[in-house]
A and B are shown apart, each in its own frame.
Chain A
Amino acid sequence: MAGQDQIAAGSREPDEGAGGTYRVAGALTITRAATTAREIDNLGDPLTIDLSEVHKMDTVGAWIIYRAVRDRKAKVAGAKPEIESLLEQVAEADRPVQVHAEKVGGLFGVLDELGIWMAELGRTLVGLLGFLGATLIGFANLVRHPKRFRVNATVHRFDVVGVRALGIIGLMTFLIGVVVGQQGAVQLEQFGAEIYTINLIGRITVRELATLMTAIMVAGRSGSAFAAQIGTMKITEEIDAMRTIGVSPIEALVIPRLLASTIMMPLLSFFAMIMSLLGGGMFVWLVLDIPPLTYVQRLQEVVPDTDLYIGLIKAPVFGFIIGLAGCFQGMLVQGNSEEVGLRTTNAVVQSIFLVIVLDAVFAVFFSSIGWR
């Protein structure tokens, strides 16, 4: 059967250009649709199409013949009953369909998109505020009915968000300590002030980098997971099921996650500070030949306690933002699975953006209260 598809030929009668008979033989299928359509277009009116030698035809072939009949009043001769029925069938299905979705182009398109984008931004901010409110009410309810607090779920989140992140965060901040030390040493060496590398490592990691990097890692690891988990549960209607049973999704899903990210962040940040100091210490010991004891003594002298406080005060705020953005985006999921991916991306982008904005605010604030 397959072989016969290839054997097919169209031939026209002599009086080309002034109409005539187009004779098709063999199989008239999609395989030779392009040629057949072109050949028919090249013939003048009045046209007669002779199908007596066609042994096989598909709907595309039938469509090309039908189109010639419809648009050019061509005559069909010698069609066998099954071909006749196929022609009728495509004739029945002749309804113009718009193929592509409407798109507004040019300046209006840009304005249109900008407007939609701004409206979306406004809605998101209002929605986030509303979600924050709902979460606070959820907290208040839990304070009034402490028995409803889900201890197991919360502890499980602590494990997932905190304990399991130790490895990657430790490794990452250790390397950051090394990098800060190495880059600092290269610059400070020019002034013969390698010893100040320790100031650099101690102050920048404790005050800024450890907490910030931990927040970025937690946003990528846990914020995205929150959005994806809650979003999937929305699609599978688990959240609707919860509501109908009388379980508040805020209490069952959001609060354990928010608590986990808020409480784990300072712990992870502290761990990250230690690891980056270790990384930096290792570097100065091996490369600058400063012994560990000197390193620790110097750290004690140059890193004020306030740096530690700054790092640890920022951490829970960042954790709360990450948890809130993750859960909020998860709850926004509607409809299809594509949305889950979109919302997860949004959650991560939003939380990292907010974390960095807040970090800037904190930097100005702490400097102005004299914690330099």
Chain B
Amino acid sequence: MSDEPPIIRVRGLNNSFGDQVIHEDLSIDVRRREILGVVGGSGTGKSVLMRSIIGLQRPDAGEIEVLGENMIDRNEDEAKNIRRRWGILFQNGALFSTLTVAENVEVPINEYFPYLQPTLVDEIASFKIAMSGLEPEAGPKFPSELSGGMRKRAGLARALALDPELLFLDEPTAGLDPIGAAAFDELIKSLHGRLELTVFLITHDLDTLHTICDRVAVLADKKVIAVGTIPELMALDHPWIQEYFNGPRGRAASVSHKETVGT
């Protein structure tokens, strides 16, 4: 496992907005087929890290490799080949508001494979929607007619449209009710198992971390201060990590996780 090159490799990343330094000499690796959770207090630059990796934010300095390819200053044609191999779920779904859910799912397919038969594209969109746990009735609806949870599932369906190897999720369970959030966790876990995905997951949800993440990276002090499984992190002596995992909410999540695993 460890000899295999990481699927995402970030070295010496620096990011800043004006005088405000967000990342300083940040490094992180994401291994193939793992679910890596990224946690950190508000404003520690979790989303900025994701945006840097996917090329929406040009870092001040540093190296970023995704799927073995350098990502910084790539020309658009070369970057497209990498973009085809990942899917991104933005925080609020970021669905195209003038298209129906099913049409949203078809956008990446039509962009990269314009010669596919339209009926086949419709069928692909249909089963992606079903795989994301949406009812078939959601297909012809517009994003404004959907609830928050449905919008996230629709966003996930679009992210999965091209069978990506790598999936980025930005707070997938934020704003969902606990039942919806648990169902979403299950969905991601089962998709991960079946589609051999690597998942880069930003979250605040301790239950999500306990249930689905293989490893967790902690962002603080402008860096990734630790990466490891939750028990490994809890053994560390960093005040924020202790507060996070051993605080009242952290303990509750950990207990409930042990109970479900035990039974």
Q: Mark A116-127, 1 if CB is under 8 A from B, else 0.
A: 000000000000
Using C-beta atoms within 8 Å of the partner chain, give the interface range for chain B: 35 or more
Contacts of B126 in A (CB 8 A): 93-97, 99
* A contacts with B, residue count (CB < 8 A): 31
Q: Which of B13-21, B98-106, B175-183, B240-248 contacts A (4 or more CB under 8 A)?
A: B98-106
**In the assembled complex, A86 has its CB within 8 A of some CB on chain B:** yes
Q: Which of A58-66, A133-141, A256-264 contacts B (4 or more CB under 8 A)?
A: A58-66
**In the assembled complex, A308 has its CB within 8 A of some CB on chain B:** no
**In the assembled complex, B174 has its CB within 8 A of some CB on chain A:** no
Contacts of B136 in A (CB 8 A): 95-98
Q: Which of A26-34, A43-51, A356-364 contacts B (4 or more CB under 8 A)?
A: A26-34
Contacts of B140 in A (CB 8 A): 97-102
A29 touches B120 (CB 8 A): no
Contacts of A89 in B (CB 8 A): 131, 194
**In the assembled complex, A13 has its CB within 8 A of some CB on chain B:** no
B103 touches A34 (CB 8 A): no
Contacts of B122 in A (CB 8 A): 97, 99
The answer for the CA separation of A250 and B75 in the assembled complex, in Å, is 52
Query: Nearest Cβ distance between residue B79 and chain A, in whole angstroms?
Result: 14
- Per the 8 Å Cβ criterion, residues 91-119 of A in contact with B are 92-102
Interface SS of chain A:
helix
**In the assembled complex, A252 has its CB within 8 A of some CB on chain B:** no
Query: Nearest Cβ distance between residue A141 and chain B, in whole angstroms?
Result: 35
Contacts of A90 in B (CB 8 A): 127, 131
Contacts of A37 in B (CB 8 A): 117, 120
Nearest CB in chain B to that of A339: its residue: B144
The answer for the CA separation of A63 and B195 in the assembled complex, in Å, is 14
A97 touches B131 (CB 8 A): no
**In the assembled complex, B163 has its CB within 8 A of some CB on chain A:** yes
- Taking each of A58, A95, A102, A336, which has the highest tally of chain B beta carbons within 10 Å of its own beta carbon? A95
A99 touches B103 (CB 8 A): yes
B144 touches A335 (CB 8 A): yes
B163 touches A58 (CB 8 A): yes
**In the assembled complex, A298 has its CB within 8 A of some CB on chain B:** no
Q: Do A63 and B124 form a contact, CB below 8 Å, given A85-B194, A97-B130, A99-B106?
A: yes
B124 touches A97 (CB 8 A): no
Q: Do A60 and B124 form a contact, CB below 8 Å, given A30-B162, A33-B113, A85-B194?
A: yes
B163 touches A60 (CB 8 A): yes
**In the assembled complex, A338 has its CB within 8 A of some CB on chain B:** yes
The answer for the CA separation of A358 and B48 in the assembled complex, in Å, is 52
**In the assembled complex, A55 has its CB within 8 A of some CB on chain B:** no
**In the assembled complex, A203 has its CB within 8 A of some CB on chain B:** no
Query: Nearest Cβ distance between residue A100 and chain B, in whole angstroms?
Result: 6
**In the assembled complex, A12 has its CB within 8 A of some CB on chain B:** no
The answer for the CA separation of A359 and B103 in the assembled complex, in Å, is 47
Contacts of B106 in A (CB 8 A): 99
**In the assembled complex, A75 has its CB within 8 A of some CB on chain B:** no
Q: Do A97 and B113 form a contact, CB below 8 Å, given A30-B162, A102-B140, A338-B97?
A: no
Nearest CB in chain B to that of A99: its residue: B102
**In the assembled complex, B116 has its CB within 8 A of some CB on chain A:** yes
Nearest CB in chain B to that of A338: its residue: B97
Enumerate chain B interface residues (CB-CB to A < 8 A): 67, 81, 85, 97, 100, 102-103, 106, 109, 113, 115-117, 120, 122-131, 136, 138-142, 144, 162-163, 194-195
Could you pull out 19 A-B pairs where Cβ atoms are within 8 angstroms? Answer: A2-B85, A29-B163, A30-B124, A34-B116, A58-B163, A59-B127, A89-B131, A93-B128, A93-B130, A96-B126, A97-B122, A97-B136, A98-B139, A99-B100, A99-B140, A100-B140, A102-B140, A335-B144, A338-B97
Given A96-B126, A97-B102, 15 further pairs, Cβ under 8 A: A2-B67, A2-B85, A33-B120, A34-B113, A34-B115, A58-B195, A59-B127, A64-B120, A89-B131, A90-B131, A93-B128, A97-B130, A98-B140, A99-B140, A101-B141
The 3 closest A-B pairs by CB, nearest first: A97-B139, A93-B130, A58-B163
